[in-house]
Amino acid sequence: MAGARKAPGEQTSTLHESKSVATDMSETTDMSEMRERRDRSRLNHLSENDFARSASGAAALEFALVALPFFALLFATLEIGLFYFYSNQLQMAAEIASRELLTGSLASGTTVQKFIDEKLCQNGGLLNGLLDCSKLRVEIGRPDNWSAADVSNNYAGLDDDRTALVNPAAAGRISILRIGYPLPEFAGLIGAENTGIVVHNGQRVRMIMGIAAFRVER
């Protein structure tokens, strides 16, 4: 019958059903929001990982592109430094060793080997412990005039006979002392024409020279 009032039991049941429906809807909404937040978090996390992987890959590629020329330049710089350092030491040794030739006070009967041992490589010698003295070559020239003086870095032209006697120039004559050493090549990036690169005993080397040119004192 329309307009009839519901019994108290029926009203309570209807109220519970309404609350249950509202609770279910609220739970559904909460779960949906949780899923959305979880999905958004997962997408953000994936995006961050993708970005990190992309950045890492780009960094590795950039390092590979830069590393080769960088290390080549580094080794070439070290080799140039060693080249000039040893060249300077050899030149100083030649100037110091030539003093007895300059003054004509070198002991008679001195061999090339003895000259190397006593003037260059033994205690007090500038090259002692610095270079492999077994590879040194020494030549003492006596040109007739300055135009005939050989001051080149032609290592192959140096006399390698260490048993030969040193024959100093007479007083008032020109004397040329040349000391050569084959410095091993490492980086191979220095101009060959400017550094006297040759193949010596099957190894590419750069010839470094110490040269002292003087007129023997009277």
Average pLDDT along the chain, 218 residues, taken 10 residues at a time = 50 51 54 66 55 62 79 82 89 91 87 89 81 88 85 67 86 90 69 58 80 86
CA–CA gap between residue 165 and residue 132 (Å, rounded): 22
Question: What is the per-residue DSSP string for 95-143?
Answer: HHHTHHHHHT-PPTT-BHHHHHIIIIISTT-TTTTTS-GGG-EEEEE--
Phi, psi torsion values for 163, nearest 5 degrees:
-90, -10
Quickly tell me which residue has 């290390």 as its tokens: 71
pLDDT the model gives residue 40: 64
Q: Up-side HSE of residue 151: CA atoms within 13 Å toward CB?
A: 14
* Contacts of 78 by beta carbon, 8 Å cutoff, 6+ apart: 186, 187
Please state, rounded to an integer, the average pLDDT across all residues of the chain: 75
pLDDT the model gives residue 207: 80
User: For strand 174-184 and strand 137-141, is the pairing parallel, antiparallel, or unpaired?
Assistant: antiparallel
pLDDT the model gives residue 88: 92
